[in-house]
Structure 1
Amino acid sequence: MAELKARTACEDALPCEIGATQLVELDLGPITSVMVWGSEQDVSAAMKTAHGVSFPKPNRSNGTDATRCVWFGRNQAVLIGVAPDASLGEHAAVVDQSDAWSAVSLSGGTAEDALARLVPVDLRRAQFKRGHTVRTQVGHMMTSVTRTGPDSFMILVFRSMAVTLIHELKQAMQSVAARRA
């Protein structure tokens, strides 16, 4: 009988370092979509009480690496790193998305330059500060990009697009590294 073994979406392809940029897979733990159907203030209060993070404003994220809430669209966010408290279900649709998403961290002194080749949004530090997030495209893939530090980004794509994301990011990293050599 065959023995099944769970694998991550990026298991064979990461980590990777090219020039001054590093690309690693993130294990975020539970990822839960929270879609407000009532008052956003009620959802935010319930999240703050249960998890210490509030429902984020548009294009923002809040929390820490352990528990984070990321804006995902109008009246939508994803709660990352913790299983949702049952009280959230009183104010929002709460759906487990853990197996649907793949997450990577792009970091280093040339991370912005690599992303500039793929993302049609100004991600420079002066415009896109820590805690800012955007739903956009990386190449042709829909994604969420969040600045997590001065030179680091969390990038979420559908799990089925993980290998394509890695390929696109590696090409951009190589291009930046070649221009700096």
Structure 2
Amino acid sequence: MADHRLAPSPAITAAPLEIGETRLAPRPSGGVHMLVLSAGDPAALAAEIEAAFGPLPAIGRSARTRSGAMLLRPSRERGLCIGSGLAPSPATGFHSLDQTGFWAMISLQGSGARAVLERHWRPDLGDVAFPRGAVAQSSLSGVSATLFREAADSYLILVPRSYAAWLFDDLATTLHWVR
């Protein structure tokens, strides 16, 4: 009998684009887990997250987990853990949901990265308002997105995979204009 399996397809099939010192590229996820955080006792929640992953970052910030994954906290009730080796935890203060198939990731790096994003992202991306390690959730070209500032000129964008190819093309068009 024939073995019929669905093969995963990439959310973005476009090749990375590099113009000048700025690079736009799809990034493989390696795993994305959403942490749905309870509104109960904040100290108990922080202790459970600490036991499962490592320190719970403040809202709008990020932290590296003990396993090397990145924990983003865009809001009080939600976190995103990006990386491999993540397993759901039988905790009472949060639920860990594997959403690897839901999210697509786009990397935007280089001297023109912020200029490209500022044409699509309303919140302030200045160094004081959005420093390295900052995380925010907003609309990017009309698509709900999570933005993570990895370094001075390096951003990671998480969007639902159904919008990823279109958003990548939109950012690529902007990159051509801001170079």
- Scaled by the length of structure 2, the TM-score of the pair is 0.87
Aligned twin of 2:64 = 63
2:178 aligned with 1:176, yes or no? Answer: yes
Give me the whole-angstrom Cα distance separating, in 2, the residues matched to 1:75 and 1:6: 30
Equivalent residues of 2:132, 2:150 under 8 A apart: yes
Cα offset, 1:167, TM superposition: 1.1
Give me the whole-angstrom Cα distance separating, in 2, the residues matched to 1:17 and 1:25: 12
**Greater Cα shift, 90-99 or 132-141:** 90-99
Give me the whole-angstrom Cα distance separating, in 2, the residues matched to 1:14 and 1:42: 45
Equivalent residues of 1:9, 1:102 under 8 A apart: yes
Equivalent residues of 1:118, 1:172 under 8 A apart: no
Aligned twin of 2:45 = 43
Equivalent residues of 2:149, 2:155 under 8 A apart: yes
Give me the whole-angstrom Cα distance separating, in 2, the residues matched to 1:145 and 1:74: 16
Give me the whole-angstrom Cα distance separating, in 1, the residues matched to 2:60 and 2:163: 23
Cα offset, 1:102, TM superposition: 0.3
Cα offset, 1:3, TM superposition: 6.7
Instruction: Map Cα deviations across residues 100-150 of structure 1 (whole Å, 9 max, x no partner).
Output: 000111000110111111111111223311111110111111101110001
- Larger helix share, 1 or 2: 1
- Cα RMSD (Å) of the superposition? 2.1
AA of the residue aligned to 1:104? I
Q: What is the number of residues matched between the two proteins? A: 174
SS in 2 for 1:175: helix
Unpaired runs of 5+ in structure 1? none
Aligned twin of 2:81 = 79
Give me the whole-angstrom Cα distance separating, in 2, the residues matched to 1:15 and 1:66: 25
SS in 2 for 1:99: coil
Cα offset, 1:51, TM superposition: 2.3
Aligned twin of 1:137 = 139
Identity of aligned residues (%): 27
Give me the whole-angstrom Cα distance separating, in 2, the residues matched to 1:125 and 1:45: 31
Aligned twin of 2:165 = 163
AA of the residue aligned to 2:56? F
AA of the residue aligned to 2:25? V
Equivalent residues of 1:119, 1:139 under 8 A apart: yes
Unpaired runs of 5+ in structure 2? none
